[in-house]
Chains A and B, each alone.
Chain A
């Protein structure tokens, strides 16, 4: 065990007699050489915790300027890597027990201790808290390593993929000579798979970023109408190819506060899904309307729908629908998980409504820019 004579302890106790007893108990035994400091109010305790580092904080829960769990929460938060040991009276054992569940390492009951109990509780509390800190540091390091790895892999895979994609598409587009029907067929399969690989690699990078919150959101005042129009135009050819009608109602809309790049990504993801899950002769509608404090964006399809059991899970990480068009990109199932995160981080919410056989409506909100109320929409 660590050199306990170099321990720094903070005692948070307003009763002079209780404090004296603590000091007396700690004066003999393994913590005899420890440095003891005392605070008699919560405010003083928080000052000390902010200014110096301690191995352990022994705290009463009833202080002149705070009581019970308020004291406790404040101390635990300020304690950082210091172990918190709660000092409790016999009537407060239940409270103390709860404190341990919420972050204290131990509690000691006033006046009913054998010699050495207090010192032991403190020493073991410090040791356990140290282990927690070590775990946290190790976990953070591993997460960073994982993110770097995924980012690196994603980058490395892109280069040969870019060559495969370009050469395949050069062939498919007849740029190196006309293809016969069978060759065209084979190329379609080839390119479809390349698109899928691309989707998976894109998702690989999202997987690393989504968890670590490193996606940068740069909010600005954005006009939603051009973004919607742009998305509808971009997907026009894809919709036509699948025999689908893509409908876009260009109403004027008030500006919102959002990151236009992220909004584009979200719209692309939602429309892509809608096209993927809607059979020929179906319809995908992209629309938006001002609501109280928000603009609500809607992507509605007349596709196969999502059954009630699956609906609550569509935003789960790695959720993949079972039926999907074999030609289209599948990715790793991260799209909606990330979309929801992006929407939330811009102050909105993404929701799904669906009926099997009728279709699905994905809808998300973004906050109105200040100074623009609904009546101006």
Chain B
């Protein structure tokens, strides 16, 4: 049974590229382009993991994480953050939400694969 990853990214082109990449890793992919969709789609779909951008309209990634943590059905979902922001600035905040990994854009595809596998507790090698 293939795992589902929800990609939360407001840049349409990047979201499309990441979707293709994650499908090539063997995942099923769902998409959200803003903070509100990140929560409503997650609620509906219960993805196995979330790939989350921080800079989002309609509720940035941090408020999304906050909302996930408040909702019982979403609080346990592993999240990998993929952001253009400086990790040194946001990492302490993200650790508070138990983020599984923090990747910097542009992400190395192997790192992305490994981070998702680890988040889903799957063997890392393809």
Contact = CB atoms under 8 A, between A and B. Distances in A.
A binds B: yes
Interface of A: 151, 154-156, 158-159, 161-167, 169-170, 173, 175-176, 194, 198, 202, 205, 209, 214-216
A161 B85 contact: no
Q: Which of A158, A163, A175, A176 has the most CB of B within 10 A?
A: A163
B14 interface: yes
Given A151-B86, A165-B106, A209-B88, A175 B20 contact: yes
**Closest 10 pairs (CB-CB, A-B):** A166-B17, A162-B106, A158-B84, A165-B106, A162-B105, A158-B105, A163-B13, A155-B84, A175-B24, A163-B14
B11 interface: yes
Contact of A216 (B14, B85, B88, B107): B88
A169 B24 CA distance: 12
B109 A169 contact: yes
A198 B24 contact: no
B104 interface: yes
Contacts of A155: 84-86
Given A166-B14, A166-B106, A198-B106, A159 B21 contact: no
A174 B24 CA distance: 10
A216 B93 CA distance: 14
Given A155-B85, A155-B86, A215-B88, A161 B20 contact: no
B84 A159 contact: yes
A195 B21 CA distance: 18
B21 A163 contact: no
A contact face: mostly helix, strand, loop, or mixed: helix
11 contacts: A159-B84, A162-B84, A162-B106, A162-B107, A163-B14, A165-B106, A166-B106, A166-B109, A169-B109, A173-B24, A175-B21
B50 interface: no
Contact of A159 (B14, B88, B109): B14
Given A166-B21, A175-B21, A159 B86 contact: no
A32 B57 CA distance: 64
Contact of A170 (B17, B85, B105, B106): B17
Contacts of B86: 151, 154-155, 205
B18 interface: yes
Contacts of A161: 105-106
Contacts of B88: 209, 214-216
A165 B17 CA distance: 9
Contacts of B21: 166, 169-170, 175
Interface string B81-121: 00011101000000000000000111101000000000000
Contacts of A170: 17, 20-21, 24
Nearest to B112: A166
A214 B86 CA distance: 11
A165 B108 CA distance: 9
A29 to B, nearest CB: 55
Given A158-B104, A159-B11, A166 B18 contact: yes
Interface string B1-37: 0000000000101100110110010000000000000
Interface in B31-45: none
A159 B20 contact: no
A164 B14 CA distance: 9
Given A154-B86, A159-B105, A202-B104, 9 more contacts: A151-B86, A159-B14, A161-B106, A162-B14, A166-B14, A166-B18, A173-B109, A175-B20, A216-B88
Contacts of B84: 155-156, 158-159, 162
Nearest to B85: A155
A205 B106 CA distance: 14
Contacts of A173: 24, 109
Nearest to B82: A162
A15 to B, nearest CB: 55
Contacts of A164: 106
